[in-house]
Amino acid sequence: MSEAVLTSAENGVLTITINRPEAKNAVNRAVAEGVAAAIEALESDDSLTIGIITGAGGTFCSGMDLKAFLQGELPVVSGKGFAGFVEAPPAKPLIAAVDGYALAGGMEVAIACDLVVANKDAKFGIPEVKRGLAAGAGALLRLPRLIPQRYAMELALTGDFIGAERAAEIGFVNRVVDGSALDGAKELAATIAANGPLAVKASKEVIAKTEDWSHDEMWAEQQKIIGGIFTSEDAREGAAAFAQKRKPEWKGR
């Protein structure tokens, strides 16, 4: 895997670090390919329940590497989009741990994640309109589904930045922490990783798909996803562990 992206796994959590601090973790082709490979590792490893994506050196991600772009390099992976995953997020949950700035494509990386933990001094923004561009890596599509439309409209049309507290107020950030966002994200990830992996993955899938279902079909569609969980080994193990007052030993089946 490229040195532009580092990974480490511990207790069911895969941490993915964009490692270009000298470029404020701007996304070039190497980052996109590295993140794509890391996401594939997250998906294929049954010992992993959840991932965290963060940036080295105190900055989350400043967006697309414009120098690389001017040299004809596109920071995308075919079928997966910008940063190697924004068009095809993993089936397993992903947390963005945001220190410093998450701007333009950097904010769109956070948008593509399921949860966001931010340091109190973090800044978010999609300033593309200030350069005559549009936020085409997911912000215009996904942000109105995550926060009230009028707030999404303001961010998109003004290009202005907002702080972590404001981002939490409007429903974009889950947790604001005083210290390292990565430490806060690891705490949240540990809580999730302690749960049944099949149930976690299925719960994410239902929530991600529910707005595409009509009222008449939503119960049947949900059943297709969660039905097998209730007859799984993990479901029996969870019930047994509760009855025996012990920690469950998940098998992922």
Contact present, 116 and 166 (Cβ < 8 Å) = no
* Rounded distance between C-alpha atoms, residue 161 and residue 164, angstroms: 10
The gap between the terminal CA atoms of the chain, to the nearest Å, is 30
Q: Which residue has the tokens 């981002």?
A: 167
**What three-state secondary structure class fits 224?**
helix
3-state secondary structure 176-221: EECCCHHHHHHHHHHHHHCCCHHHHHHHHHHHHHHHHCCCCCHHHH
Catalytic residue IDs: 108, 128
DSSP string of 97-161, one letter each residue: EE-SEEETHHHHHHHHSSEEEEETT-EEE-GGGGGT---TTTHHHHHHHHS-HHHHHHHHHH---
**Amino acid type, 206:** V
Q: Which residue has the tokens 């942000």?
A: 143
DSSP state of 21: G
What tokens were used for 178?
A: 């005083």
* Rounded distance between C-alpha atoms, residue 253 and residue 229, angstroms: 8
